[in-house]
Amino acid sequence: MKEKFTIKDFAMNILNGIAIGVVVVLVPGALLSELVKVLLPSMPALSVVQQGLNLANSMMGLVCGILVGLNFKFSPIQAASLGLAVEFSAGAIKAKDGALILSGTGDIINMMIVAAIGAGVILLVADRLKAYTILIIPTLLLVVVGSVGVIIAPYVARITELIGIGIKQLLGLQPMLMCILLAVVFGVLIVSPITTVGIALAISLAGIGSGAANVGICATGFAFAILGWRVNSHGISIAHFLGSPKISMPVIARNPKTLIPIICSNACSGLVAYIFQVKGTPMSAGFGFSGLVGPINNLNLASGGWSMINILITTLVYAVFPIIFGLIFKKVFVDKLHFVNEEDYRLSL
């Protein structure tokens, strides 16, 4: 019997599936990627681990599609078929010289659109297929829904490009204001389907602009962990900064007010990033605390390199200050103003 879903239920199932999938594929790399890079020259056998981490990233579409299917309580055949369609259309699989190459994670916005179309198709036809499900659903999802996703992918990518063009205008502002705004913008985008790494690369965001954007993402991760610490498991809370704050996309969609304490923390962290002249590269700008990509790149670029003072400053800017700001704005918006409450940050995973 087909379960009935409201529009809200449908949207939240898509968002929750995508959010969990993003974190599942990013956490292994966040925990191990930088360590593997350091050890690889002396331990070549770790190249297998590095390959596994890269593969995990490129399988984001598959994982997200399957998890969306599980949220809808689809059968294993239906969920796996949805995963294949999302992976096929995500953009992580590219053809080159007759071979298929896995590259990057793909476009999360396109994953959401294809997952929604695929889930809608399954809900529409599932009850009519009965014994023919195993023949029709995998083919229908991969060939029809997946192909639709491939066709619309270039147009969906334009969304990220247009946002990047808008953000690029911030680079001409006074440096302190630029850092604050970049921290806020990237701190908000990281809890949206937009890829912050893609935007940073598209506009070649480097130097203190990259550092500010990175610190803004750090502030978002720590703030969500702090605000939801009592209502979510500690593992889920920690995943916000070790993995990705995207795990809280459903929280923002359900109640946009929950972003206000986050934005305040972003702005303060951006100011701190400017004061300490934190730097980064286009590749590091969109990562935040995940994998220590941001902190490590700052230490590599800082005058004096990995000195004790630079390590101390990096620790303060990337962890201590974001935690302090998270606690301050939790006190202000939750305990004093009652603008939001801790239940608003609960994740149903």
Residue 96: DSSP 8-state: E
Residue 109 domain-assigned (yes or no): yes
Tell me the two tokens of residue 318: 């990337």
Q: How far apart are CA 88 and CA 81, in angstroms?
A: 11
Same domain, 136 and 192: no
List helix spans (H) across 169-291: 175-189, 196-202, 207-227, 234-242, 249-254, 259-275
Same domain, 219 and 146: no
Domain span including residue 85: 7-159
Same domain, 214 and 338: yes
pLDDT in tens, the chain (349 residues): 456 778 899 999 999 999 999 989 988 888 888 788 888 889 989 999 999 988 998 999 999 999 999 999 999 999 999 999 999 999 888 888 778 888 888 899 999 999 999 999 999 998 788 788 889 999 999 999 999 999 999 999 898 889 999 999 999 899 999 999 999 999 999 999 998 988 998 888 999 999 999 999 999 999 999 999 999 999 999 999 988 899 999 999 999 999 999 999 999 999 999 999 999 998 888 888 887 888 999 999 999 999 999 999 999 999 999 999 999 999 999 999 999 999 999 998 6
Cβ(123)–Cβ(2) below 8 Å? yes
pLDDT at position 1: 44
From 102, 124, 159, the end of a domain falls on 159
Residue 1 domain-assigned (yes or no): no
Same domain, 140 and 255: no
Q: How far apart are CA 190 and CA 200, in angstroms?
A: 12
From 108, 136, 159, the end of a domain falls on 159
Give the total number of structural domains in the chain: 2
Q: Which amino acid is at 40?
A: L
Residue 303 domain-assigned (yes or no): yes
Same domain, 140 and 234: no
Same domain, 153 and 195: no
Same domain, 203 and 325: yes
pLDDT at position 3: 64
The residues with which 193 forms a beta bridge, in sequence order, are none
pLDDT at position 127: 79
From 135, 159, 183, the end of a domain falls on 159
pLDDT at position 345: 96
Q: How far apart are CA 182 and CA 241, in angstroms?
A: 18
pLDDT at position 79: 96
Residue 74 domain-assigned (yes or no): yes
Residue 112 domain-assigned (yes or no): yes
Residue 172: DSSP 8-state: G
Same domain, 227 and 114: no
| Model pTM above 0.75 | yes
Same domain, 140 and 220: no
Same domain, 43 and 141: yes
Residue 287 domain-assigned (yes or no): yes
Same domain, 135 and 24: yes
Residue 285 domain-assigned (yes or no): yes
Residue 168 domain-assigned (yes or no): no
Same domain, 54 and 88: yes
3-state secondary structure the chain: CCCCCCHHHHHHHHHHHHHHHHHHHHHHHHHHHHHHHHHCCCCHHHHHHHHHHHHHHHCHHHHHHHHHHHHCCCCHHHHHHHHHHHHHHHCCEEEECCEEEECCCCCHHHHHHHHHHHHHHHHHHHHHHHHHHHHHHHHHHHHHHHHHHHHHHHHHHHHHHHHHHHHHHHHHCCHHHHHHHHHHHHHHHCCCCCCHHHHHHHCCCCHHHHHHHHHHHHHHHHHHHHHCCCCCCHHHHHHHHHCCHHHHHHHHHHCHHHHHHHHHHHHHHHHHHHHCCCCECCCCCCCCCHHHHHHHHHHHHCCCCCCHHHHHHHHHHHHHHHHHHHHHHHHHHHHHCCCCCHHHHCCCC
Tell me the two tokens of residue 28: 């292994």
Tell me the two tokens of residue 108: 């999360």
